Amino acid sequence: MTDTALVLGSGGVTGGAWETGILHGLAQSGVDLSSADLIIGSSAGAMVGAQLASGLLGLPELYELQLADPQDMTGGRLGAATLLRYARAVLSARTPEAYGRKLGRIAQDARPGVSAEDRRAAIASRLLSPEWPGRPLIVTAVDATTGELHTFDRDGGVSLVDAVTASCAVPGVWPVARAGGRDWIDGGAHSTANAQLAAGCGRVVVIAPSARGNKAIDSPGSQAAALAANGARVEVITPDAEAKRAFGRNPLDPSCRAAAARAGLAQSAAHAPSVAAVLSA
């Protein structure tokens, strides 16, 4: 059994910055999750997880990256028409796969302002290494045609850059990602955390920028409850009110990145005792 899993959820640029702030603050409080036996990342969490698992920078340095001027970072936005299609997808889907198929169609119909090649290059520029780390890392994505959740790892024949690009392919904002002969969209299209992938781990810490589920997809809290029912010790961290304010209205806006990271750092102290209790159980 893998002992400790760190689950990093989806949440855009601001969500990833907040996750990094949480991780850095926890480590400052003596609870360092960078040594988790397994890291599971979806969308923004895939980027944070890949950076963390690389071992090339410590949490203080990763946090400082979030505070840097994001002037070279392209932001995105979900337009009103796309948000309406998202809402219709929720109302008409009963399973994560059905929801994923509907979001896949949204992604395939969209005409993003950036090419797939440029989007991949942008992801590669943010990764600390293009190579899969030697330690266990799982990156999620959703098949744009079938709506099924897929996991990438170092043994799957897909590069880390392609895996993270797929996991971060927000439908209607970024191009559909092509890898392994299939088209992919954001791993958060299946759930905002995908904490169910930590089944079999005795200790699980879920850091989820979005606490929400809907009638088609499970919330991080419900996934955590299922893990706990099977004997795992689980802690879920979601944004507090100050963090939500720092995120602003658009989670894909790089100008809010530094504020979100600072909000995560500030929030972390409140969770350090409960995370420490999970890890020491």
155 is catalytic: no
Give the list of residues 6+ apart from residue 222 with CB closer than 8 angstroms, or none. 213
- Angle of helix 12-28 versus helix 44-54 axis, rounded to 10: 40
Distances (CA, A) of 39 to 9, 46, 197, 248: 11, 9, 10, 27
Locate 123 and state its tokens.
């992801």
Give the whole-angstrom CA distance, residue 114 versus residue 170: 13
Q: Residue type for 101, please? A: R
43 is catalytic: yes
What's the distance, Cα to Cα, between the start and end of the chain in Å?
15
Give the whole-angstrom CA distance, residue 249 versus residue 267: 20
Catalytic residue among 43, 159, 219, 268: 43
Across-strand partners of 143? Answer: 184
Give the whole-angstrom CA distance, residue 208 versus residue 236: 7
Catalytic residue among 186, 191, 219, 253: 186
Active site residues: 43, 186
